[in-house]
Amino acid sequence: MIKINKGFLISFIVLLLLNYAIGNFISYSLILVFLVIFSIEMISLIVAKMFLNIEMILDEVAVVGEKIAVGYICNKLSIYLSANIFAINEIIDDISGSEERKDKLNLERKYHTITAIKRGKYVINNLDIEIQSIFNLISINGKYKVNKFIKIYPKIYSLNYNYKFYNSSCGIKESLIRSSYRNDDINNIRQYEVGDSLEDIHWKITAKENKLYTKTYTNKHNEEKVVIVSYYLEKDKFDYFMEEDLTSFVISLCKDFINRNNHIKLLINNDAKFMSYISNNIDISNLLEYSLENQFSFSDKNYIYYFNDIIENNLDKKNVILIISNIDDNIKNLIDMLSRKDVNITIYFNNCNKNYSFCNNIKLVNIIDYIKGDKEYEKRNIS
C-alpha cells in the first residue's frame, strides 16, 4: 500500500479539473509530468522494499525510567530514493547550512535512546518514531521511512572483572579473562534490567524485512541492593560456626533477596573458591554482577575509606548489606560516613565490641540469630 503526498494529490486533482475546463497543451504536459513523478515514487518504494537495509552500531546503553534505553549510531544506508523518500548517511541526510551547524547537528544526533521496538509510536530523543501497522514502515518525524523491521543481535563481552557469571542459557559460562564476542539471537539473551552494568556490551541492529522481533526490558525488581561480604576465619575469628555455615548463610541471604524480587550486586572480599561455590548455588541470572575485590581487612583504617569509595562507585539505589565479623570503631566510622549520604544499611555481624548508637537508616542483624533460624527476629530485621 502506497502513502501518497497530500499536496501532490490535491495538485493532481486541480490539474485534472483544469484540463477538463480548458483542455490545452500546457495542462496535458503538467499532467504527464505529475504522472512521471508519481511513477518514480512507486518505483522508489518498490526498490526500497526489495533492497533497503540499515545497520546501526549501538555504542552506549543508558537507563530511562523502567526500560532499558540504547544509544545508537546509524552506520550506513547506501540507496538513494527520490521525492519524499529519504537516504541516510551516518545519522540523517537533511543537515544543511554551515559546517559549524552540521557539526553541531551531528553531535546532537550522535546518540539517541530507544524505549521500545514494536508497532506503535515512540520517541527517540526529540525524534518521533512510528512503526506503522498499515504501511509496514518505520517513520521518523513522518518523513523518513524504512521498509524493514528490526532484529537485535547482541555482541556480548565479559566485563572487566576477574570473574563474571552469566546464565548458562545464554551459552556463556564463567569467564576468567576478557573473551571474544559471539552473536546470539535476542531470545537467548538474559533480560538486562534497570541498573545493569552494560558498558562493555555492544549491540548491532540489523533490519529484517517482513519480520518483527521484539524484546521488552522492564524493571521487574523491587530494589537494588549491594551485598558486601568480607570475612576471613583466620583473621576475623568468627565464633560458634564454621566456614561452611558462613557460606550457606550468604547463599541463603542472597536467595532470600532474590525471592523478594530484589536485584543484587554482590561484592566479595574472599577467595575464588568461595565465589565459585556461591555461583553454583544461586540463580546467577537474578544477580546484577559479581566482583572479587582485593583482599583487605576492616581492621585497617585506610581500608575504611577505600571501601567507602567501592560502595559509592557501585551504588545506584541506596541499599547496602554488610556481612562482617565484628563491629568496631573503624566499622562505625564507615557506617557513619554512609549514613550521612542517605544510604540504607543492613549489617549482619558476629560480634559487637561496644554499644554503639546508629542512625534510623541502620539495621543490625546478628548472624548467629539468623543461622539459628530465629524467624521472628529475621522478620523484624532483614531489610
Binned average pLDDT, 10 residues per bin, the chain of 383 residues: 50 67 64 66 50 34 28 26 23 36 37 33 40 32 32 28 30 29 31 37 32 33 64 50 64 72 65 60 52 51 64 61 75 75 75 70 74 45 37
The Cα 39–Cα 231 span in angstroms is 76
Q: What is the pLDDT of residue 27?
A: 62
Q: What is the pLDDT of residue 306?
A: 63
Single-letter residue type at 285: S
Q: Which residues contact 238 (CB under 8 A, 6 or more apart)?
A: 231, 246, 325, 350
User: Containing H/E element for 382?
Assistant: none
| β-strands 67-76, 202-208 pairing | unpaired
The Cα 46–Cα 162 span in angstroms is 52
Q: What is the pLDDT of residue 233?
A: 47
Spatial contact of 142 and 130, defined as CB atoms under 8 Å apart: yes
In the chain, where the domains are located: 6-50, 55-208, 224-381
Q: What is the pLDDT of residue 104?
A: 39
**What is the reported pTM?**
0.37
Nearest Cα to Cα of residue 119 among 127, 129, 111, 128: 129
Tell me, which fold does domain 224-381 have in CATH?
Rossmann fold (3.40.50)
Q: What is the pLDDT of residue 278?
A: 64
Q: What is the pLDDT of residue 358?
A: 73
Q: What is the pLDDT of residue 64?
A: 28
Q: What is the pLDDT of residue 117?
A: 33
Beta-carbon count within 10 A of 312 CB: 12
Q: Which residues contact 205 (CB under 8 A, 6 or more apart)?
A: 54, 55, 56, 58, 72, 150, 151, 152, 153
The Cα 263–Cα 332 span in angstroms is 26
Beta bridge partners of 164: 175
Q: What is the pLDDT of residue 98?
A: 39
**Exposure string (b/e) for 225-242, b if CB count within 10 Å is 16 or more?**
bbbbbbbbeeebebeebe
